[in-house]
Chain A
Amino acid sequence: MAKAILNDTTKCIGCRACQVACKSWHNLPGEKTSFSETWSNPRYLDADNFNRLIFREIVSPEGQVSWHFVSRRCMHCLTPACASACPVGALKKMPNGPVAYNDDICIGCRYCMMACPFQIPKFEWGKAVPYIKKCTFCVERLEAGLEPACTSTCPTGGLLFGEREELIREARRRIAKGNGRYYPEIYGEKIGGGTSILYLTALSFEQLGLNRQGFRTDLGDYPHGLYGREWMSKVPWVALTVGGLSAGLYFVNKRRAEVAAQERKEDKP
């Protein structure tokens, strides 16, 4: 029922076909890119780039050089912080996996951008009437019974589309059979309450140096969006308590003042 994508980064050859497929499916404009020390192009995710292949060159303590390619995009959290943040409910977790965005009601407050632990929602800064942009999980393709553009184009099986439960089982199987080929943890299985994009990597995200660049490892398993929900569940009680106390004390004070005034009157003559 709930779909997911497993990115087995050990299978990725860094061809960026997923980036191209994404751009063409979503009709996103191409742009002039330039070489940089990060090897990745484009340099950042933005309103015109929903996924991006990160290139990492890692030198082991023994001097061995290895290359790692990680596909970064919206994680489609199981309990998304963005959906908890949005004041109008423009972001919603769909039962079949995607975190979908409704630009008909978005007010452009950008709280989702602040709240997302993976820093995914991007804004159309170049437009006078800007909306939020991010990976859609090709929600319209899923509805038509297709798989997302990126996974359908991946030539090596680095991006696998399927049921989340099955992909997790497959990932566990690969770790068990991999003989140290994989870092023994599925990123996305539990982090931030779990996500619909899952990662198998050869090294941990700290070792890849990506834990400060979108793949945080210090988020814990508790979805941060729930902090907002917990707060909101207390609000009615706070309102009742504060209201009751203020109204009560108001009338006590009023009564006291009346009594005092009456006593003064009685004392006078």
Chain B
Amino acid sequence: MSTGTEYRLTPGRIILLVLMAAGILASLYRLLMGLGATTNLSDAYPWGLWISFDVLTGVALAGGGFTISAAIYVFNIKKWEPLLRPAKLSAFVGYLIFVAGLFFDLGQPWRIWHPMIMWNPESVLFEVSWCVMLYTTVLAIDVFIMALERWRAEFWVSFFRNIYVFLIVAGIILSTLHQSSLGALFLLLPEKMSDLWATGAIGPLFFVSAIIGGMSMVALESILTASAYGREAKMEALTGLAKGLGVTLLVYFAMKVTDLYARNATVWSLDWPHILFYVEIFGTVALPALLLFFPEIHHSRKGILWCAGISAFGVLLNRFNVSLTSYGGYRDFWYFPSAVEIIVTVGLVAMAILIFDFGMNYLPVHPERAPAGEAHAIVR
């Protein structure tokens, strides 16, 4: 580390490193012993924690990258500009984690590249894998540009500035496609899901809830990193974001209600799926939407923190409900993740925080804070 903030081994970072090391060991164990020996997955539950959390939740919560860049460049909400770079960095980290999680979940991880040359154009998962590969590349270039700025590679920075519109548009297209298509994966198995989530509209619902996930994670990260690095939270941008989040939650709530009404689904009942559904729709969608309406809340750091936290949890709950709790292929079987599954997931999250933390320190994530002479090289 030659310049910038000094990177020191704080206790927090040591804990994260230990968790990451445990995760790496557990994933090596998984690679050697196989899925059956190390996970609680079975023929009744072919998909478990890794798909529900690392893949579905991870991708949705990493939706901040395309959401913020669409807001700024397409919807002209310039106020959110200070949030863009942290959002991109966290999205990139999120996708790295997702790819790593998927890698360990595959029966033949070394064949993860197969969809590149073995095509099945009628498969939703084929499309998802292509979009994710391409979008991760876009995000990698985005982060690479930040590194180029730091290394003062002026030529390359201006080169990328010239093709920047392609990255923005590609990022938005690819995200729209795979965020919704991750939901469309479940179009094929309505018979195995609870009526509450099995819907033809699951693609658009996943897309909008990914926007919610992205916005709330950007808000959370912005507030938490501000206090972690002892900086001022960017309240003006955050208030705008919080209002946007409130509106999106409202839209999502309306979509959910319309969908349930149109399908004539049984909404009022007191079994497990319904209880989870009530928590999801009222507790994590309607409640934060309502709260964010109040100026006292969308102007307060704490208020935004809580609402964003609840909304992000709501997205997580939704992904688990769709892919795990509502999946009743065999009702006489039960699934709870094994220690290895949990340790690998925790390790991946720790790794994500470490990489994000490193990026926040090493890369010019806050261009407005950069020394005057550097600012001209910055790609917006």
Contact = CB atoms under 8 A, between A and B. Distances in A.
Partners in one complex: yes
Interface of A: 44-46, 81, 83-90, 105-111, 113-115, 117, 119, 122-131, 212, 216, 218-219, 224-225, 227-229, 231-232, 235, 238-239, 242-243, 245-247, 249-251, 253, 256
Interface string B28-57: 000011111100011100110000000000
A249 B125 contact: no
Given A108-B111, A111-B185, A89 B123 contact: yes
A46 B43 contact: yes
A122 B70 CA distance: 42
B337 interface: no
Nearest to A47: B43
B123 A128 contact: no
Interface of B: 32-37, 41-43, 46-47, 70, 73-76, 105-109, 111-112, 114-115, 118-129, 165, 168-169, 172-173, 176-177, 180-181, 184-185, 187-192, 200, 203, 327, 329-331
Contact of A111 (B34, B109, B125): B125
Nearest to A245: B74
A113 B187 contact: no
Main secondary structure on B side of the interface with A: helix
A119 B74 contact: no
A224 B200 CA distance: 11
A246 B43 contact: no
A109 B188 contact: no
B43 A44 contact: yes
6 contacts: A86-B125, A87-B128, A110-B46, A111-B185, A119-B43, A127-B34
A228 B165 CA distance: 31
Nearest to B72: A253
B111 A105 contact: yes
Contacts of A228: 122-124, 184, 187-188
Nearest to A233: B122
Given A87-B126, A107-B114, A109-B105, 5 more contacts: A105-B111, A113-B43, A238-B176, A239-B173, A250-B73
Contacts of A85: 123-125, 188
B191 A219 contact: yes
Nearest to A219: B191
Contacts of A110: 46-47, 107
B187 A246 contact: no
A251 to B, nearest CB: 8
B34 A128 contact: yes
Contacts of B114: 87-88, 105, 107
Contact of B115 (A46, A87, A122, A216): A87
B107 A131 contact: yes
A125 B128 CA distance: 25
Given A117-B189, A224-B190, A123 B169 contact: no
A256 B75 CA distance: 12
B74 A246 contact: yes
B106 A109 contact: yes
A87 B125 contact: yes
A105 to B, nearest CB: 5
B191 A123 contact: no
B43 A125 contact: yes
Contacts of B168: 246, 250
Contact of B107 (A129, A229, A235, A246): A129
A227 B33 contact: no
A113 B114 CA distance: 19
Contact of B188 (A129, A130, A224): A224
A127 B31 CA distance: 11
A81 to B, nearest CB: 5
Contact of B36 (A44, A45, A127, A212): A127
Interface centre among A106, A109, A119, A243 (most CB of B within 10 A): A109
Nearest to B42: A125
Contact of A108 (B107, B127, B330): B107
A84 B122 contact: yes
Q: What are the 6 A-B residue pairs with the smallest beta carbon separation, nearest first? A: A108-B107, A125-B36, A89-B120, A128-B34, A113-B46, A110-B46
A191 B149 CA distance: 60
B236 to A, nearest CB: 19
B182 to A, nearest CB: 11
Contacts of B108: 106-108, 129
Given A119-B329, A123-B43, A249-B74, A89 B35 contact: no
A229 B122 contact: yes
Given A105-B114, A107-B112, A228-B124, A87 B74 contact: no
Contacts of B189: 81, 114-115, 117, 224
Contacts of A249: 73-76
Interface centre among A86, A106, A107, A251 (most CB of B within 10 A): A107
A232 B123 CA distance: 7
